[in-house]
Each structure stands twice: as structure tokens, then as C-alpha cells.
């Protein structure tokens, strides 16, 4: 499969890849024969829960689609630790776009990945690149500092914050604050927004004084479409400013995740839970002895 163009064909390919592993011939055939353009921007959108990421993504893709751009969206949803399923649904959050032929949306469970991303996210992103979209958006779950994984996949990372998060800035310095290429302060019509934006600018100035790319802070009200065009302009500028060597670093990070996933593919979390449950019945269960024994298999 050299080029994926039809929506149904793309959906089928994603299903095969999402459910497959390296022992599947179809899975290997799809991925190993992809022709992947290197000029399609991948935009990661992350930030704490309640920041309005989904609403913001909705408005961004609507604005781009209105300009006849084709957009792929991966909505990364949290996986329940109990039923291993997706808790949220892009079909609820982004339902208005499903009749638009220029927009393709796919939800993807994190499958326990602490950073909100899994190897499947990398593979499905490449499938979408091969489908010839103009932009690909990845909206991740908002789980704090572990969201730094998105920076290893996205060409441009947007961190969405809200004015009420003023106390979070200091705590986020060493994590999510480090990965932003663009800051968006959503719900900027709320009290305290101006002070929050000013403090964010000061923090960026301290940490980003000598960088080639000067990180912008964009005030937005996604529910009122305010700031949308400014964000799109910042995305375009960032992609034009990026240094070529970042591509190799991004590919290295993807390769790391894929190799890690391949080596872990025989580890089934459900099976682990069952095995631990049975051993606990015998009494004297020790987690570290269990892990050592499992690793020695």
C-alpha cells in the first residue's frame, strides 16, 4: 500500500494497525510499504484537564477546512485501568465534523501509556501522513507532566492553559512547560487572564532568551472563535522556523517507542493481573520476586 487516499481504506488500514502486532503479515505489509511525506505538519495539543483542548481543536480544524485543507485528527483518550477501554469519545466532542469530507477523525485509547501516547499513535500518525492530509492534529489526554511524550511526535506542540492555572506554572516548569512551541491561554475572558499571560511571558523570557524560536503566548476564547487565526499563523511560522535537525531527533524518539513496544508486545496487562491474582491466593506474594521470575521466562 503506497498511498492511502480513500477514507474507508484509511479507516480499514488504521484498524489493522491498531489491532495488529509484528506477527501479523497485513500489519507489517501496511507499515513497511508506506510512502510518508516529510512536509506534513503534525500538531500536538496538550494541557491540563478542563483547559478546553477539544473545543480549541474543533475551531482550528474548522477554520482550516474552510480554507479547503484536509485534516486528520487523532483524539487520544485515556484508557480505563479496569476495562482497558477508551473513556471519552471524539464522536461526541467533534461530531459536527463527521460529515465534512476534508476532516478525518479517529480516537485512540492510550492503552496504559503513562505519557498519554502509545506506539500505535506513531503508526497511525504515519498512516495519516501517507493519506496526504495537509495537517494532522493529535489531541492528548491532560495528565500533567507525563504529557511531555507528545514533543517526541509532534512538529509543533501547543500547550493549552487557563487563567485559573496560575499556581500550576511553577510546578509545571520542569515538565509540560518545557515542551511548548506555542502557549494558548484559553478562556482568556475570565478574571486574572491578563496577569496570568504576563507571568507566562516573563517565565518564557527567562528560559527562552537565546532560542531561535520565540515562543508566543496567544490569548483565546475557543467557544467564541477568538484567537483561532492567530494560532494557525503561529503554527505556520513555527514550521517554517524549525531547524532541519529536529526531524532526525523526532524520528529517533519514534524509533525508541516502536522498539520498546515491539519488545513489550508479549506482555499482556490482563494476563499479568490474572497471574498475580492467582499467586496472591497462595499467600506471601512479593512483587519483586514476581517480576524477577517473569523477566527470567
Pick the more confident residue, 171 or 206: 206
pLDDT value for 243: 64
244-253 average pLDDT score: 72
Report DSSP state, residue 196.
H
Q: Is residue 114 part of a domain?
A: yes
Q: Is residue 1 part of a domain?
A: no
The reply to whether 180 and 114 lie within a common domain is yes
The three cell numbers of residue 61 are: 480544524
Q: Is the pLDDT of residue 89 over 60?
A: no
The reply to whether 111 and 244 lie within a common domain is yes
Question: Are residues 30 and 16 in contact, defined by beta-carbon separation less than 8 angstroms?
Answer: yes
Q: Is residue 126 part of a domain?
A: yes
**Helix/strand/coil for 141:** coil
The reply to whether 133 and 192 lie within a common domain is yes
CATH number, residue 100: 3.40.50.300
pLDDT value for 114: 43
The reply to whether 275 and 259 lie within a common domain is no
Question: Are residues 228 and 65 in contact, defined by beta-carbon separation less than 8 angstroms?
Answer: no
pLDDT value for 50: 83
Per-residue pLDDT of 175-194, as tens digits, reads: 666 788 999 999 999 998 99
pLDDT value for 65: 93
pLDDT value for 87: 41
The reply to whether 164 and 281 lie within a common domain is no
Backbone phi, then psi, for 148, in 5-degree steps? -60, -20
The reply to whether 248 and 290 lie within a common domain is no
Q: Is residue 116 part of a domain?
A: yes
Q: Is residue 170 part of a domain?
A: yes
Q: Is residue 282 part of a domain?
A: yes
Displacement of CA 114 from its chain's centroid (Å): 12
Q: Is the pLDDT of residue 68 over 90?
A: yes
The reply to whether 214 and 97 lie within a common domain is yes
Report CA-CA distances (Å) from 4 to 43, 71, 120.
20, 14, 17
Q: Is the pLDDT of residue 200 over 70?
A: yes
The reply to whether 63 and 190 lie within a common domain is yes
pLDDT value for 255: 80
Q: Is residue 2 part of a domain?
A: no
Return the CA Rg of the chain. 20
Residue 292 belongs to domain spanning:
270-297
The reply to whether 211 and 256 lie within a common domain is yes
Q: Is the pLDDT of residue 137 over 90?
A: yes
Pick the more confident residue, 168 or 146: 168
The reply to whether 123 and 168 lie within a common domain is yes
The reply to whether 284 and 241 lie within a common domain is no
Q: Distance (Å, rounded) from C-alpha 286 to C-alpha 276?
A: 10
Give Cβ neighbours of residue 64 (< 8 Å, ≥ 6 apart).
71, 134, 135, 232
Q: Is the pLDDT of residue 222 over 90?
A: yes
114-140 average pLDDT score: 82
Element (H, E) at 138: strand 135-139
The three cell numbers of residue 50 are: 478542563
The reply to whether 257 and 114 lie within a common domain is yes
Q: What total of structural domains would you count in the chain?
A: 2
Amino acid at each position: 500500500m503506497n498511498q492511502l487516499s480513500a477514507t474507508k481504506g484509511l479507516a480499514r488500514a488504521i484498524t489493522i494497525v491498531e489491532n495488529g502486532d509484528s506477527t501479523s503479515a497485513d500489519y507489517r505489509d501496511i507499515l513497511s510499504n508506506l510512502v510518508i511525506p516529510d512536509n506534513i505538519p503534525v500538531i500536538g495539543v496538550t494541557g491540563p484537564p478542563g483547559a478546553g483542548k477539544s473545543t480549541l481543536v474543533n475551531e482550528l480544524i474548522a477554520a482550516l477546512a474552510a480554507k479547503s485543507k484536509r485534516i486528520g485528527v487523532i483524539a487520544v483518550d485515556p484508557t480505563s485501568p479496569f476495562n482497558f477501554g477508551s473513556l471519552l469519545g471524539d464522536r461526541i466532542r467533534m461530531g459536527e465534523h463527521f460529515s465534512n469530507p476534508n476532516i478525518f477523525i479517529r480516537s485512540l485509547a492510550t492503552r496504559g501509556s503513562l505519557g498519554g501516547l502509545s506506539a500505535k499513535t506513531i503508526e497511525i500518525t504515519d498512516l495519516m501522513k501517507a493519506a496526504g492530509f495537509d495537517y494532522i492534529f493529535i489531541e492528548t489526554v491532560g495528565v500533567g507532566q507525563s504529557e511531555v511524550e507528545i514533543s517526541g511526535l509532534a512538529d509543533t506542540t501547543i500547550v493549552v492553559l487557563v487563567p485559573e492555572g496560575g499556581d500550576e506554572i511553577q510546578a509545571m516548569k520542569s515538565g509540560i512547560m518545557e515542551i511548548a512551541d506555542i502557549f494558548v491561554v484559553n478562556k482568556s475572558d475570565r478574571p486574572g487572564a491578563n496577569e496570568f499571560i504576563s507571568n507566562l511571558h516573563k517565565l518564557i523570557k527567562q528560559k527562552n532568551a537565546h532560542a531561535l524560536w520565540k515562543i508566543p503566548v496567544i490569548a483565546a476564547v475557543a467557544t467564541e472563535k477568538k484567537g483561532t487565526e492567530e494560532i494557525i499563523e503561529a503554527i505556520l511560522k513555527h514550521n517554517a522556523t524549525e531547524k532541519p535537525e529536529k526531524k532526525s531527533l523526532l524520528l529517533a524518539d519514534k524509533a525508541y517507542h516502536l522498539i520498546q513496544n515491539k519488545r513489550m508486545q508479549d506482555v499482556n496487562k490482563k494476563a499479568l493481573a490474572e497471574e498475580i491474582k492467582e499467586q496472591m491466593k497462595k499467600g506471601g506474594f512479593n512483587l519483586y520476586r514476581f517480576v524477577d521470575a517473569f523477566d527470567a521466562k
